[in-house]
Amino acid sequence: MRGPIPFEPWPPTPAPLSAACVALCDYLVVQGHLLKQGARYRLTFNAGLYLASPAYLGCAVKFLASDATVSAFCRLRQVVERGVASIQELDWVEYARSMAPLAQPVAEFAAAALEVDSAGPIQVLDIGAGHGFHGLAIAAQNSSAHIFALDAPRVLEIAIENARQSGVAERYHLIHGDAFEAGLGGPYDLALAANFAHHLDDAANVRLWCFILAKGHQSVYF
């Protein structure tokens, strides 16, 4: 349920609500999720914060509870018994759309911990960039940082849109393709791989990171 942000004026009196809708809204008032004045309802502060603001995290369920994700967890026992992960194709476009609110605070924390604000001009490779917020957090803290985002073309459409909304599109560069096949360019001062390495087996990780470390002075996985 969405509505005006708390502390704005009460909305105009709506058309009469059905008895069932009134009962539901009154229940939400009792539970502390709505405020009521006469026949009008609006969100409480906390409800408004999480349902009608950037702090809303509910969209993550579109990826976390997707058919592909649930199917992968349904095979967890077999994977543990065999000791070999099964290949499961996930919807990475949906991941980029839906998981951004969960990733953004982590990305900002990581960028602050890296102290990139005083690093001067740097080039950052973001492997499996997804929504792009891990690289964008660095770009926000360092106005001289250029971010090179690697991912599939459809996923990068979401990342570049987030870069535009963040005002750093001119410093955000796209690398389309697979991490093992795309020309990565470089050299880079920093290589990021957020939520990536656990999708690879040991041999693939060794091969990838030997290559990445040859391209950059520092690498970060989180």
Task: Give average pLDDT by consecutive 10-residue segment, the chain, 222 residues.
Answer: 46 70 91 89 84 74 86 84 73 88 87 87 92 94 94 94 94 90 81 83 83 65 55
**Whether the Cβ atoms of residue 117 and residue 144 lie closer than 8 Å to each other:** no
Report the pLDDT value the prediction gives residue 5, as an integer from 0 to 100: 43
What is the domain partition of the chain in residue ranges? Answer: 1-56, 92-221
Burial of 99 from C-beta contacts in 10 A (0-12 / 13-18 / 19+): buried
Q: Please, what is the Cα angle at 134 between 167 and 113, to 5 degrees?
A: 110
Strand duo 145-151 + 122-127: pairing = parallel
Q: How high is the pLDDT of residue 9?
A: 55
What local confidence, expressed as pLDDT, does residue 15 receive? 65
pLDDT at 65: 87
> Under DSSP, is residue 89 helix (H, G, I), strand (E, B) or coil?
coil
Give the HSE-up count for residue 214: Cα atoms under 13 Å, Cβ half-sphere: 8
Q: Beta strand pairing status for 40-43 and 34-37? A: antiparallel
Q: Which CATH architecture has domain 92-221?
A: 3-Layer(aba) Sandwich (3.40)
Which two structure tokens, joined as six digits, stand for 133?
């917020």
Tokens 């957090």 sit at which residue? Answer: 137
Q: For residue 69, what pLDDT is reported? A: 85
Angle at 189 between CA 184 and CA 195, to 5 degrees: 65
